[in-house]
């Protein structure tokens, strides 16, 4: 199966599948199933889903090279946009719900925890690249 014979239902199906984690998080939030610390659960889950979608996006080209299928590459942009969506949700959850836009506390938190610094660096690269990218 090459890119020209990708089934027409694949892209809409992948789109809906990519929204399922978000729907699950919204349901868990509304049903009060996020545990004792729902803000931490939301922050952690959105971060994990960001990594999953980023890795899935990065796997598309090697998958094409290994299998000689071209159609997975056509899903790469959509998967990348979903990774960006989940990283924006992750950042919003951290800044708004966890820190309440308390900038001095956010700076202290970034200095105190190096993994936050490592997470912020690619985001500052990724955000302008995604927001200014021209769509065909």
User: What pLDDT does 93 receive?
Assistant: 96
pTM for this model (two decimals): 0.84
- Per-residue model confidence (pLDDT) at position 54: 92
In this prediction, residue 68 carries a pLDDT of: 87
Alpha helices in the chain (DSSP H): 10-30, 38-58, 60-67, 76-92, 103-112, 114-131
Q: Across residues 2-31, what is the average pLDDT?
A: 89
């Amino acid at each position: 199966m090459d890119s020209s014979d990708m089934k027409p239902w694949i892209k809409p199906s992948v789109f809906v599948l990519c929204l399922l984690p978000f729907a699950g998080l919204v349901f868990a939030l509304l049903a009060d199933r996020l545990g004792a610390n729902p803000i931490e659960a939301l922050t952690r889950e959105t971060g994990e889903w960001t990594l999953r979608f980023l890795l899935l996006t990065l796997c598309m080209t090697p998958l094409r090279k290994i299998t000689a299928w071209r159609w997975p590459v056509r899903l790469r942009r959509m998967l990348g946009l979903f990774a960006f969506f989940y990283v924006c949700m992750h950042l919003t959850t951290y800044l708004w719900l966890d820190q309440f836009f308390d900038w001095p506390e956010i700076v202290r938190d970034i200095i105190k925890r190096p993994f936050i610094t490592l997470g912020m660096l690619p985001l500052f690269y990724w955000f302008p690249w995604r927001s200014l990218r021209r769509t065909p």
